Structure 1
Amino acid sequence: MSWIEKLTGSLEQKKQFKADRRRIEALPAPYSEAAAALLRYFMYYGGVTDGDTMITMVGDLADLWERAAADGTPVRDIVGADPVDFAETFAEAYTGRRWIDKERARLVEAMDRAAGDAT
């Protein structure tokens, strides 16, 4: 890994992410709109810190919508009546580390110490 990648992250991952975004942008409407909205939501909700996991998730998202577009599957048949539930269930299927994981561990440790349960 070069020094620049240590600062900015993997250049290969960035290339793959951009390629998958282009795949999403190239989809016909309404699939491109749905996939782009989900991707935007993942950037806020997911908090995935592992680059490999994020790349896999975005690639799978592009695959899903490419198949839906090819088959003519209606958007609601994919996301259902609750798109937030769909998005969060989809994102949670990717078990990479998330920003909140560190804070959850800190909270548990703090409560253990406060309760006198610390070992």
Structure 2
Amino acid sequence: MTNIKNSINNMIKDKQRYRQFLKDVKQLPTPYADTVTALTKYIWNFAGSGAMMDVLEEVLHIFQESAADQVPVRQIVGEDPVEFAENIMAQYPEEMWLIKYRKQLRQKVQEAEQK
């Protein structure tokens, strides 16, 4: 019963965090908000659990600081926004199914080589 209660509480907290995240994104200047929205959509494609808010909040924090310092969006994400997103996601391997499956594939090939 305690596990169910904890799960429900976590879901409610995550939903509240996500709502706040969306509000915070809307407060960013347009190029920053649009970029965070695009990154969010991309990152969600690889989400493996409910712990995605940590990833999204990190992205938001980077863009909030950059917007305050008037750092151009292209300077934040670099030449390849996919590479930027992948670097962020790589910091959260437990939350990303893609990274998990990449790791498993590498491990399976290594095991196969040893046979």
SS of 1:30 mapped into structure 2? helix
Amino acid at match of 2:66: A
Counterpart for residue 48 of structure 2: 48
Partner of 1:33: 34
CA distance in 2, matches of 1:13, 1:29: 25
Q: Which amino acid aligns with 2:26?
A: E
Kindly state the Cα deviation for residue 69 of structure 1 after the two structures are TM-superposed.
0.7
**Residues 8-87 of structure 1: matches in 2 within 5 Å?**
10-44=11-45, 46-49=46-49, 51-52=50-51, 54-87=52-85
In 1, the alpha carbon distance for the partners of 2:76 and 2:94 equals 24
Number of residue pairs matched by the alignment? 109
TM-score, length-normalised on structure 1? Answer: 0.73
Render the CA deviation track for 1:6-44: whole Å, top value 9, x for unaligned. 9xx621111112211221122111100111110110011
**Structure 1: distance between partners of 2:102 and 2:55:** 23
Q: How far apart are the structure 2 equivalents of 1:4 and 1:12?
A: 10
State the one-letter code of the partner of 2:37: A
The whole-number CA distance in structure 1 between the counterparts of 2:78 and 2:87 is 12
Cα distance in structure 1, aligned partners of 2:31 and 2:101:
37
Q: TM-score, normalised by structure 2?
A: 0.75
Q: Which amino acid aligns with 1:48?
A: G
Which sections of structure 1, spanning at least 5 residues, go unmatched? none
Runs of 4+ in 1 over 4 A off after TM superposition: 102-107
- Give structure 2 stretches of 5+ with no counterpart: none
Aligned alpha-carbon RMSD (Å): 2.9
Within 1, Cα distance between the matches of 2:40 and 2:68? 20
Of residues 2, 5, 9 in structure 2, which corresponds to 1:2? 5
Deviation at 1:4, TM superposition (A): 7.7
Distance (whole Å) between structure 1 residues aligned to residue 94 and residue 84 of structure 2: 18
1:97-112 alignment, distance < 5 Å = 97-100=95-98, 101=100, 105=104, 108=108
